[in-house]
Amino acid sequence: MIKETTNGGVMASREQSKCQNKENKKEKKTLIYIKYKDHVLFKNSLTFRIEPSVRETIGWVAFENSEYILICSDLPFEPLPNEKIVASGLVVLKTNVIEKYVLDFGKQFKLNSEEYIGQN
């Protein structure tokens, strides 16, 4: 992976820029669901109660290697005039993945959201 630095910051690698590339818009993108363990920042807490948070996300695989998966979860379908094509998403370490499913548009699937009802 090639990284470039500018003004002390790290720019995305060339592989990761695929998430933002206009030419890739026409390619079939793989849509996935991932449940993963996430880091937790704590302050002034009892440490024996702290553990990684289990989270989940859905998005398009922009890049994947043996160490991590770059997932774009929000990107413009058609950019507005003078809008830069930018994306938002996550980098998830493969060692933190609990479940991973490829979502196929050719098949119908139903996400069971009953567990989320009434938790507001």
The pLDDT tens digits for 55-107 are 999 999 999 999 999 999 988 888 888 888 788 999 999 999 999 999 876 65
Mean pLDDT of 34-44: 94
pLDDT for 71 equals 95
Does residue 113 have a pLDDT over 80? no
CA 47, CA 44: separation in Å to the nearest integer? 9
Candidates 105, 108, 115; CA nearest to 35 is: 115
Residues 6+ apart with CB under 8 A from 25: none
Please report the pLDDT score of residue 67 as a whole number: 97
The kind and range of the H/E element at 57 are strand 53-64
* pLDDT reported for residue 70: 95
Give the closest residue to 55 by CA, choosing from 28, 33, 81: 33
